Amino acid sequence: MTAVETFSLSKQYKHTLAVDHVSLRVPEGVKCGFLGKNGAGKTTTIKMLMGLKKPTSGGFSIMGEEQVFGRRNLAVGYLPDVPNFYSYMTGAEFLDLCGRLYDIPAAKRKEQVQSLLKRVGLDKARGRISTYSRGMKQRLGIAQAMINNPSIIFMDEPISALDPMGRRDVMDIVQSLTDTTVVFSTHILSDVEDICDYILIIEKGRILVQDSLAGLKASHAKDMAKVTLYEAAHGEALRAALGRFDYLSVQADSPVELAVSSDTADTAAISRAVSSALTELSLPFERFVPHSPTLEDIFAETIRNGVSTGA
């Protein structure tokens, strides 16, 4: 099943078209990284999908059900970019309030609150929310997004203001949501690459990419290998020696690391040429590996080219 689908979804603010006729599909059960530069349209899109902003035109469905603005949707959970809480409450009291808003019966609500606090690592936090760190508040925000056992959780920049340990804690929680579709926006591409299996890239309100991470890596793969040597002089010597192979392109990523690529030869041919040059020069080397594009490479190339691709 498709968890989220939009049909030429648009949002106009006076003279600014923030979201431009977006048609996207997010498969059920994936962890979807929603990527784009500041102002690209991520937050506006998420708020329309949450029913917090009315689309100017177009529509969308959640779990196969077409959505109507103003009608409550119990299938979704939401963590905004800056979650707000009643700071005089404890975490348990706040989650209990959220459960009441969903009309969860008292006995089930108590069990759900304790289960969620334990899941996000706040079961030992007895103080008021005003004493919580930013990371603790983000974890509480994830718990409130899960209080109604939603099929889909939308998270807007859940890790942008956290330190490395806080980011890791939140990403571990997101990764543990194996029975829930998660769509989250972020600028931390390495975290997306670690846990996501589906990617959306938006630029100037238009979706440029929607595909699995594996599919994107396959489509952006190039015949390239990385050679890491021990000394800068060795890097210079190898680069000069490879110059005689007119089908190779050599780029120095650092004084001791070369990226060797070709538009006409495969990785095996590149390997043979590099091995020949290393043997001829009697150069030791630390590492020789085929290059796989990172999500950062894919994102940069996509934004640079500005061409819509994907499934």
pLDDT at 311 over 70: no
DSSP structure class, residue 100: H
pLDDT value, residue 308 = 60
Mean of the pLDDT values across residues 84-108? 95
Q: Which of 305, 36, 66 is nearest to 187 (CA)?
A: 36
User: How large is the average pLDDT for residues 93-101?
Assistant: 96
Q: What is the CA radius of gyration of the chain?
A: 24
Percent of the chain predicted with pLDDT > 70 = 98
Instruction: Check pLDDT > 60 for residue 208.
Output: yes
Answer yes or no: is pLDDT of 201 > 70: yes
What is the pLDDT at residue 27? 97
Cα–Cα dist 145/123, whole Å: 17
Q: Residue 176 — left, alpha, or beta (φ > 0 → left; ψ -120 to 50 → alpha)?
A: alpha
Which tokens in the block code for residue 138?
Answer: 């983000």
- Pick from 169-173, 184-188, 210-214, 262-266: least confident: 262-266
138-192: per-residue pLDDT in tens? Answer: 999 999 999 999 999 999 999 877 888 888 998 999 999 988 999 999 888 988 9
State the pTM of this model.
0.83
Rounded to whole angstroms, the Cα distance separating 196 from 209 reads 14
Query: What is the distance between the alpha carbons of residues 15 and 188, in angstroms, rounded to a whole number?
Result: 31
pLDDT at residue number 70 = 87
Q: What is the pLDDT of residues 289-301, one digit of tens each?
A: 887 788 998 999 8
